[in-house]
Structure 1
């Protein structure tokens, strides 16, 4: 109600209100439903992406929630980017989510439909600064909110039990997102979140950009949905958008023709994005095959990729491996195996190496080779404990003294470092929280070129998969003991054939080559375990 009340006065404040209302409503669901498991952190992004919550509802309803979050965040930082149409999309998505809650848990459910005409049109006086601070006030009211949520939890057994019965007896119909204007908002918001500017003196996105010579026919014109320009005035990428109900790659051939036209005009081939607002594909047809990504890349990332494309790179096999970092034959073989896989276009690599054979040292040497060859710039090293993060950073400092390093768990001041070390939850939270000096997100989808996953048998499944869905980077997993369970299979995660990693160096081989020594079992008996404890015999 509050979000609707300020709609006519300030679409940006409406978007902020929708985000606040969504947060309260999502937390209500977690309190009411015993099938929902709270994630590691209860911020809104974590709550809506938790599998128990995400898969509890129709995808057509769920996929509207991230946009409400994005629009709210965008409004806080750049209010001028929020239009009345954006605010309506937020209200519409929020309405549908509240309708879904009533459908599942309400005692007197009656199906309702969103009517834009019912949004109040009267203007009100408001203190924008105070409204922006409301997110902070939510925390101040935590005690009050906690009591209310406790009341809901007291009813959770009844609410959870009735949910399935309600879903069988009631009707809920998610609104399809097919209208061009609505679909376009989803794409625009994602681009604005990455810092793209649609108007004003700093504009770097042109919509419906006219090109000539489609399919090589002079005079045959075409209109590109979006052309993204770099600071030098040259096009970096074309974006071909399709309706949300259609496969984004329906427009792939058309996007290639647009790229051909722009290449003839500017002398440089732009990269290609195909998107329907929910699925996005990236293709630099000069360097590799098309792949799915989490969103449109930022200008800085596209400029870095373009510069890398324009430079000549030596074959990875010709770049010397530093003996000061890795001087063992098997370590060099592991590095060459990963390099060969990358040169073939592979983006997921798995090194299975016995404990004590130098996985971290090998990873540092691989970073050295890929950096010297110009294949990577920014690296993320992930471990599942802060002690392992610190240990890895200390090792890299010794092996790569000229590289800038940052332990994100303890010092966010060095966040622009070439190599960032982090735990899974820390980087997940930093995606939204860490900003550049201009206020835009630092850890964009293409920020990291390489992600190294230490002990990759532990934490990469389900809980933190969102990290790897979000970042578009070459992956290198390090483990001594890969999982082969049905629901947690390391080989499946890295798209490997069962039991065949990119490179393996096992315990027995390390012993036979005298890099490790064998272990011996000592059997020890204790009196308590052998004889048990008798009370009467105790002093």
Structure 2
């Protein structure tokens, strides 16, 4: 992160990023927490410097990175990196032992990617920098390791907004001009195992799942269509009563999640045969996650894994689900022919074709 120190305008977050790197050899959890802090400082600085961003109703990190304007500003592929930083930082705060060194290094790499993008857009002098794991993993002499996490001065959001307000038009123009050349987020081509340990484990921890309690890796599966007849589901999530709630099929970050669909169906078939209950399916490559209830609804993109409580509630809804075929329409409420046709069309879409939503346009 030395490239940040050369730009005085990056002072609000540069030292925080350097601090995150320094504490890696003390504690991965401290490093992950510091990465989240540096991200928050950088995001607040970005809101203060770019006129396309308006401070939302709350200044929490999750709110700032979720606005439509922020999502439009960052390049494709960056949102997953930012969400990883937020989640790994939260996990490190609540359960420090859950964060390992590989996850902390990935946090540093994702932070470097976001800050390199900021440098590309707003630095006075920009030269592309790559993340060098050789620097991170070098042998550190005991005397070089700080005894505690360095103190990083808190960023005052309102002060940043006030100080940088006059610069906003010029900095926005600079970003638009710089991005005409294009900016591509470099993908991290990790193996399937690395993907799991990094992104997916963090997502599960963030949703409240506990490994060995209600989350199991490499769950053994019989009757697979291969030479041995055996396989292993990447993840299976269970309810408190021991029934399966979800099966997760993980692919490498560079592979489209759809490639794991057929495997996931075979795992779900096995679990349904074994337990008498069919789990829902999550397909993920770490960056993108899809939910698929293949018996009821089409596959759809989701922001992350459901918690145990949400999955149990989902299955409760399915249990109480009633058919809409032959529904009786109250003529005292909707007696006109076009009203009846509209109601019947919605019932058919949801009940027969497994749609999740319908749009009715009504005159006022």
**TM, length-normalised to structure 1:** 0.55
Q: CA deviation at 1:248?
A: 0.8
Equivalent of 1:204, from 214, 217, 231?
A: 214
For 1:369, the equivalent position in structure 2 comes to none
Are 1:328 and 2:338 matched, yes or no? no
Give matches, 1:15-414, under 5 Å. Answer: 15-119=32-136, 121=140, 123-126=145-148, 138=154, 142=156, 146-168=158-180, 173-180=184-191, 181-184=193-196, 185-199=198-212, 203-215=213-225, 219-309=228-318, 311=319, 313-316=321-324, 328-330=333-335, 338-344=346-352, 345-351=354-360
State the shift of 1:340 in Å: 4.3
Deviations 1:381-430 (A, max 9, x none): xxxxxxxxxxxxxxxxxxxxxxxxxxxxxxxxxxxxxxxxxxxxxxxxxx
Q: Deviations over 1:125-149 (max 9, x none)?
A: 448xx98xx9xx84xx63xx54455
Partner of 2:15: none
2:25 to 1, 5, 8: 8
Preserved CA contact (<8 Å) 1:275 1:281: yes
Q: Is the 8 A contact 2:249 2:284 kept in 1?
A: yes
Distance across 2 between alignment mates of 1:72 and 1:197: 17
With over 3 angstroms needed to count, the CA separation of the structure-2 counterparts of 1:313 and 1:28, relative to structure 1, is closer
Q: Deviations over 1:108-136 (max 9, x none)?
A: 22221112332385554448xx98xx9xx
Deviation of 1:43 after TM superposition, in Å, equals 2.5
Q: After TM superposition, give the deviation of residue 227 of structure 1 in Å.
A: 1.1
Q: In structure 2, what is the Cα distance between the partners aligned to 1:47 and 1:172?
A: 22
State the shift of 1:68 in Å.
Answer: 0.8
Is the contact between residue 325 and residue 351 of structure 2 (CA under 8 Å) also seen in structure 1?
no
How many residues matched? 336
**In the TM superposition, what whole-angstrom CA distance separates every residue of 1:11-46 from its partner, at most 9, and x where no partner exists?**
222222111111111121222222333334333223
Relative to structure 1, the CA distance from residue 157 to residue 317 in structure 2 (aligned partners, 3 Å threshold; closer, same or farther) is: closer
Aligned-pair CA distance for 1:65: 0.9
Structure 1: distance between partners of 2:315 and 2:118:
46
Unaligned runs of 5+ in 2: 1-17
Q: CA RMSD in A?
A: 3.3
Given that residues 183 and 243 in structure 1 are in contact (C-alpha distance below 8 angstroms), is that contact kept between their aligned partners in structure 2?
Answer: yes
Preserved CA contact (<8 Å) 1:111 1:172: no
Higher RCO (CA-CA < 8 Å; seq separation 6+): 2
Report the CA distance between 1:320 and its aligned residue: 7.7
Note if contact 1:212-1:219 (Cα within 8 Å) is conserved in structure 2.
no
CA distance in 2 between partners of 1:52 and 1:77 (Å): 30
Q: Structure 1: where are the runs of 5+ without partners?
A: 352-500, 508-539
- Normalised by the length of structure 2, the TM-score is 0.79
Larger Rg: 1
**Structure having the larger proportion of residues in helix:** 2
Say which SS state the counterpart of residue 301 (structure 1) adopts: helix
Superimposed CA distance per residue, residues 304-330 of structure 1 (whole angstroms, 9 cap, x where no aligned partner): 333454x47543457789x9xx96345
